[in-house]
Chains A and B, each alone.
Chain A
Amino acid sequence: MNTVGTETSGTDTATSGASGNEALARLRRAASHRLFWPAVILVGLMLVNLPSTPDYFSIGVRHGHLYGSLINILIFTAPQILVGVGLTLVIATSGIDLSVGAVVAIAGTAACWWVVHASDQNAATTALAAAGIGLAAGLACGAWNGFFVARMGVQPIVATLTLMVAGRGVAQLIGNGQIITVNSSSYALIGGWWGPLPSGILIAAAVVVLTILLTRRTALGMLIEAVGGNAEAARLAGVRATRIKMTAYIFCGFCAAAAGLLLTSNTSSADANNSGLWYELYGILAVVLGGTSLAGGRFHIGGTVLGALVIGTLNNTLFALGVPSQSNLVFEGGVVIVVCLLGSPKFRTKVLNLRPGRRLPVPAAPTTEA
């Protein structure tokens, strides 16, 4: 983390020269931070909206609910943040979970199936049981992945690819090939408004905070990073690597299921074909944008959240600017490439001539750049 000193900010205008250089040095240091460029792109994307939507940043209250462009983005991004957080832990163990999109669909359809078959769709117990079934389905899917990866030693991409394909089939079987439409005020509440705030934002925020506490206040985070950094060395140091990996996949399944509940509750329907479609790819992009290496090891939950927000804001911006939807994917790919390039030390050294992690003492005289 870069500590940008606040004590000097007041005197910035008073002094020049030396403090100017200091600011430059600080900027350089900030630029080498892994979250600098994703953050810059996020702010940039938001600013792009200003000319066409002058009230882009304003948040108002209507019928007791918060509303505004930013709120919309958050609602749209919340399920992706959930999926991304789960994926972050799996990727940190040097694994991958391609089945999250399918798990989103399974959990959503299973929950909706339960609601539709309940005697009283509107009862609170129906919604609670449906949520429980959806989450249990997610946990089971995670355990399935974890079993093959951690216990059977199947390569993660293969193990989860099968569930990615078969899982959507399972969801279609549950829904009998149809879109399940529920008519339940209590189930709709799961992804609806909790007071002035949409539940998605609250749930995603709660999961993010809890995950950070769970991994960083306990030793879980370090043990995950140890397994991802060198699984055999970790095992020989007494880390129960199998259990750690298992936990990560189960947690990832849980997060995907939560996203599935949010999505289906939001629309009061479960579409096994399209629910959570491409979520595995958006999730991986969010994780990578957030600075977690696909090779495993160090992970950054906060980074993943920022990554998901970049993707969500991009989608929203393209929509708001009236870009035809068929070119969305091209734009998304382009932005991700740009962010990854800007974050790559090699690219920065070669093209931008910003040395990574360079901490030079601030020169007394103004720098003369040749």
Chain B
Amino acid sequence: MTDPSPVLEMTGITKQFPAVRALDGVDFRLLPGEIHALLGENGAGKSTLIKVATGVQESDAGTIRLGGVPVRFPAPAAAQAAGISTVYQEVNLCPNLSVAENILIGREPTRAGRIRWKELERQAAELVARFGLDVDVSAPLDAYPLAVQQLVAIVRAAAVQAKVLILDEPTSSLDRQEVTRLFELMRRLRDEGVAICFVTHFLDQIYEVCDRMTVLRGGRVVGEHLVSDLDQGGLVRLMVGRELAELDELADHVRTESAQHTEDAAPALLHAQGTGRRGGIEPFDLEVRAGEVLGLAGLLGSGRTELARLLFGADQADSGTLTVDGEAVTLRSPADAIERGIAFCSEDRKAEGLIPALTVRENIILAMQAARGWIRPVSARQRDELVSQYITALDIRPANPDVLAGQLSGGNQQKLLLARWLITQPRLLILDEPTRGIDVGAKAEIQKLVVSLSDEGMAMVFISAELEEVLRLSHTVGVLRDRRLVATWANGPELGTDQVLSTIASGVHE
């Protein structure tokens, strides 16, 4: 081989958890000056491999060589000191500190034990400018949206003269423009000789920015390829281990049916007239019927989530009326909405969905139990039956109701939350970004579920940043822009991504 010698070389990495072997003899190489995609479905072992490489967890077997020298990382600090920087999917910064402090925390310029604040801000501003970011470094980090915070985290990681930079799904909360900016930054770092390991679920991004890839499945390496050697189809086959033709069938299924759907005029299940909330979303009109999927498209921060939260009573509307089954209602709390058969899966699974310290069983039964009230517990038999029924139906892994929910992978957590709501048999299910940050296989399963549930008569609001997904699944498509619902169309073959995109971009619809 004519490969240059790898910066980071991991061989025979094995990691056993109580219930599962997360990594089984994994070999992984990162070359200097490359962007290397680390791929695999949820639970394939990507996160564990990264944790081993960054000293968060130690492997049970295997060796790590950095620049040819065997190393051990008993703690994250050791990996960092050796030149391995990491940016995680969730921003791990201090939102109450300034941008400058966040970038340089731990390596502040000091004089006689005191921090030189001016110098700190100067250095931070220089770094930020070098990476083409336009932020005020003296402002607190939480003055900026999550996407900018993510970029700041990357600046912080890159600022330490890292030899290896690991980016764990940095793009899942970024919009298109921000992703472009991130990629520019990544290419610049690559050209400076940094080895970048890039984890993402967006296949297009791999082909846009990566040089090589390693694919994991079930804790083993199933392929190490040049990106140019493997097309998307081959890659998906490699990741999933089966074909994904099913997805394409879905599109036809909904599209043909949606034409019929608009004809039969079932009365609206939920009807919003002039519903709005100051600072959240401008007043909007909306109708959802039984069996209808209403897709909402729009950029991050366009008001998609805010709209959904009003329909669910998570926030209270301060204008307009909301009717459920033709009856005007005021939703003061989620419990009020649930009583009327409305359910809501938040986009923020960690903060607003999961209760990590409780078991899978308790998490699944929670909404149903809350609706019944504490005095009427679901009997142990009924509960266990329901839980195991939904674990099987949604293929939640591990299929053990006693596992703590926090230990599940992202896709399985999402399925768990779906199970929590499906058990309550809602009439309207609001899904906010249900497929974000989860692997192709789980994504397809969730999309299929949306179709079959709406076939059974459940109304749905489906929110996603992926336009293709919205168009594939929805009967009606709504577009949001700058906290305003600017258009709603009946979906059909004539509605294309271009039209929706131009509406998202311009706010005008013809």
Binding site for B on A (CB under 8 A): 217-220, 222-223, 225-226, 229-230, 232-240, 244, 297-298, 357, 359
Contacts and interface: CB of A to CB of B under 8 A. Distances in A.
B362 A226 contact: yes
A220 B375 CA distance: 7
A279 to B, nearest CB: 28
A225 B366 contact: no
A225 B365 CA distance: 13
Interface stretch (B299-307, B348-356, B460-468): B348-356
Which of A229, A238, A357 is most buried by chain B, counting CB atoms within 10 A of its CB? A238
A244 B356 CA distance: 19
Nearest to A232: B352
Contacts of A219: 369, 372-378
Contact of B357 (A223, A235, A297, A359): A297
Contacts of A235: 314, 333-334
Given A219-B369, A222-B369, A226-B366, A233 B377 contact: no
Interface string B221-237: 00000000000000000
Given A233-B351, A297-B358, A359-B18, 5 more contacts: A226-B362, A233-B354, A236-B346, A239-B370, A244-B374
A327 B346 CA distance: 54
A220 B333 contact: no
A119 to B, nearest CB: 41
Contacts of B357: 225, 229, 297-298
20 contacts: A217-B377, A218-B377, A219-B373, A219-B376, A220-B374, A223-B370, A225-B355, A226-B362, A226-B370, A229-B355, A229-B357, A230-B354, A233-B352, A233-B355, A235-B314, A236-B314, A236-B352, A238-B334, A239-B370, A244-B374
Interface residues of B, number: 31
Nearest to B373: A219
B335 interface: yes
A238 B371 contact: yes
A225 B370 CA distance: 12
B367 interface: yes
Contacts of A222: 358, 362, 366, 369
A240 B355 contact: no
B359 to A, nearest CB: 10
A364 to B, nearest CB: 21
B375 A218 contact: yes
A53 B353 CA distance: 56
Nearest to A230: B355
Interface string B325-355: 0000000011100100000101000011111
Given A230-B356, A298-B357, A238 B377 contact: no
Given A223-B369, A238-B334, A240-B335, A218 B356 contact: no
A25 to B, nearest CB: 16
A230 B348 CA distance: 13
Contact of B370 (A229, A240, A298): A240
B335 A229 contact: no
B335 A239 contact: yes
B420 interface: yes
B353 A233 contact: yes
Given A219-B372, A219-B377, A225-B358, A237 B367 contact: yes
Contacts of B372: 219
Top 4 A-B residue pairs of the complex, sorted by shortest distance between their CB atoms:
A238-B370, A229-B355, A238-B338, A219-B377
Contact of A236 (B353, B358, B378): B353
A234 B366 contact: yes
A216 B51 CA distance: 38
A84 B357 CA distance: 22
B334 A237 contact: yes
Contacts of B352: 232-233, 236
A155 to B, nearest CB: 16
Interface string B256-276: 000000000000000000000
Which of A217, A223, A225 is most buried by chain B, counting CB atoms within 10 A of its CB? A223
A349 to B, nearest CB: 12
Contacts of B344: 236
A361 to B, nearest CB: 13
Nearest to B372: A219
Contacts of B367: 237-238
A355 to B, nearest CB: 12
B334 A236 contact: yes
A221 to B, nearest CB: 9
Nearest to A239: B370
Contacts of B333: 235, 240
Contact of A237 (B370, B373, B375, B377): B370
Contacts of B346: 233, 236
Interface string B99-119: 000000000000000000000
Contacts of B335: 238-240
A235 B334 CA distance: 7
A246 to B, nearest CB: 13
Which of A234, A236, A297, A298 is most buried by chain B, counting CB atoms within 10 A of its CB? A236
Contacts of B354: 230, 233
